[in-house]
Amino acid sequence: MSLFEKHQSILENAINALHSRDFYAQYPEHPSPKIYGETADEEGRKQFQSRIGKKYEELLQSGAEDWKGQEESPYLGESLNIQYPLFSPETLISRAKEAFTAWRKATPETRAGILVESLERMKERFFEIAYATMHTTGQGYMMAFQASGPHAADRALEAIAYGFEELKRVPAGTTWDKPMGKFNIKLEKEWRAVPKGIGLVVGCSTFPIWNSVPGIYASLITGNPVIVKPHPGGILPIAIVIAEIQKVLKEEGFDPNVIQLGADTFDKMITKELAEHPEVKVIDYTGGSEFGNYLENLKGKAVFTEKTGVNSIILDSVEDADKVAANLAFSVLLYSGQMCTAPQNFYIPESGIKTPEGTLSFDDFAQKFIEQVNALVDNPKAGPFVLGAIQNPRTCERVADAEKLDAKVLLKSRTIENPMFKKARTATPVVLEVDSSKKELFSSELFGPIVLLIKTKSTDESIALAKELAQAHGAISCGAYVTDESLKETIADEMSLAATPVSFNLTGGIYVNQNAGFSDFHVTGGNPAGNASFTNPEYVVKRFTWVGFREPAKA
């Protein structure tokens, strides 16, 4: 049985889910992580610990030119000292070119079977990946498990499904028969989906797997070899995934260099050299806007970016102010605001928020929100694990700088102790009150646990500001609380013109930060926050070109 036959039902279910947009998870997280094995957690933790201080030798990439690694654990406060094989850009490019021919000539079925099999192998290592993610990014344990395990695998499968469907959309060939009166013209026609060439995936430090696997699998399913250039601070999680793909490739008779880890160090980064190389035709990037803009302007390349944005919450009217405040407090605490979807600008009318009990003043809602933030932070069973740790010390500096802005500090940031990791780098949210006239204070992304409560003249101004900043600076998420259906439609219409998705009236266990594979589009590609979307057809069709061949049909 081929790998495609083995996994055909998985692929078909995924394709069906793309069309229905209903809940679907090939890799579920519930009812508990134990569905992946009663002892899998402990085994994964031990496997991660066994990596510390050693060479990572699992990759099928021989002849390393050096071994280095600079990852530090935000929980342990010390270097992991894991060394990875380093290769020059020319070596990586040369090996990718050698692997390209056989991979591009493989059928979509062959490629899909191999790629789904790699996800099934990845599934067996979800817990090892979770601990690797924790100790490179600072994510809390449960987020690290979910985001780098089941959720990432589902997003990768989503990319495979989209790619496979697009590759099968056009028949491989047909006999073209055109009546011409007394005779017919008959041609044999053939079409080939030709991959663009070498793909480069540039990873980020906060979500080294979730943000990277869509691009990796979208390029691989469409026949492109891939070089993964992770952030030097977050290599181990994606290295594990690459190792599993390489193993399946080798077992199926392909050159494992179809995908390669292109690790580097902070003092000698190779991203630009790879990106500018003429053989690199496809680039996927997650990170800051400045470098993302540079990549988007490179000539002759298909570039897919997720950059920075200014995410908003529009507050007009609510059914239950306490539930709304609790939901929003959790949203800003989740991974200490180090998510591209985390809300930053909260627009609140100076006249207050309408509730069934009457109007809730700006100050009273701010107080409710702060009380919910403090309650969660001070909950020893929840706060440290929801907050996680700060990945980059510069984020702590940014929080300290925020308290010096020309704004009223409603809540200062503080550090809290993680009961499991005494040296964990932590920072609770700083909450500022800003008048809407001080637009310069809230017109850019302030990455990390920083919240601005912006007092507007009216909900109309709130909507206008959220739309304006999304159009000018980008936005990946937006939340809105409104009970009037007409106003709700106004918000939806205005924010759609800014290509920004809106989550309305979320309370309880769903948050504006979260996006579901097979249902939610992550980033729209329609504003400056990014030019691509996880995952729509455009995300895969730009990775290959249809080329036709024809000749007269034989009599």
Q: What is the DSSP string of 513-534?
A: T---TTTS-BS-SSBTTBS--B
125: Cβ–Cβ under 8 A, 6 or more apart, which residues?
Answer: 44, 47, 240, 244
Ramachandran angles phi, psi of 507, nearest 5°? -140, 170
pLDDT band of residue 34 (cuts 50, 70, 90) is confident
Which residue type sits at 106?
A
pLDDT in tens, 274-325: 999 999 999 999 999 999 999 999 999 999 999 999 999 999 999 999 999 9
Residue 285 sits at φ, ψ, to 5 deg, of: -145, 140
pLDDT for res 449: 97
Largest CA distance in the chain: 88
CA distance 314 to 498: 15
The share of the chain scoring above pLDDT 70, in percent, equals 100
Cβ atoms of residues 115 and 160 within 8 Å: yes
Whether 252 has a pLDDT exceeding 90, the answer reads yes
**Binning pLDDT at 50, 70 and 90, where does residue 167 land?**
very high
pLDDT at position 297 is: 96
Alpha-carbon dihedral 232, 238, 244, 247, rounded to 10 degrees = -30
DSSP category for residue 125: T
What's the residue count for the chain? 555
Beta bridge partners of 323: none
- The full DSSP string for 277-304 is -TTEEEEEEES-HHHHHHHHT-TT-EEE
| Nearest-angstrom CA–CA distance, 275 and 283 | 7
- Given a cut of 80, is residue 32 above it in pLDDT? no
As a whole number, mean pLDDT of residues 87-93 equals 98
Domains of the chain with bracketed CATH:
3-307+537-550 (3.40.605.10), 312-504 (3.40.309.10)
Give the mean pLDDT of 147-169.
97
pLDDT for the residue 31: 73
* Separation in Å, CA 455 to CA 346, 422, 497: 9, 38, 24
Specify the long-range contacts of residues 292-301, CB closer than 8 Å, at least 24 apart: 292/530, 295/202, 296/531, 301/275
- The pLDDT, as a whole number, for residue 550 is 97
pLDDT band at 222 (very low <50, low <70, confident <90, very high): very high
Would you state the structure tokens that stand for residue 9, as one six-digit string?
């039902």
The pair of structure tokens assigned to 471 is: 């159009």
Residue with tokens 């069934």: 356
- Other CB atoms within a 10 A radius of the CB of residue 62 amount to 9
Per-residue pLDDT of 483-529, as tens digits, reads 999 999 999 999 999 999 999 999 988 999 999 999 999 999 999 99
Residue for token pair 């797997």: 209
Average pLDDT over residues 336-346: 96
Residue bearing tokens 């979807």: 341
Which residue from 79, 87, 91 is spatially nearest to 54, judged by alpha carbons?
Answer: 79
Q: How many CB atoms lie within 10 A of CB 445?
A: 24
239 touches 230 (CB < 8 A)? yes
**Residue 552 token pair:** 């007269």
Q: For residue 136, what is the enclosing H or E element?
A: helix 126-137
Residue 49 is predicted with a pLDDT of: 97
Give me the mean pLDDT over the 33-51 stretch: 93
Mean pLDDT, the chain, rounded, equals 96
Tokens of 157: 């499968």
- Give the residue from 471, 465, 432, 468 showing the smallest Cα distance to 448: 432
Gap between the Cα atoms of 342 and 448, Å rounded? 9
Answer yes or no: are the C-beta atoms of 462 and 314 closer than 8 Å.
yes
**Confidence band for 33, pLDDT divided at 50, 70 and 90:** confident
Lookup result for tokens 């409560």: 453
DSSP 333: H
Distance CA 487, CA 475 (A): 21
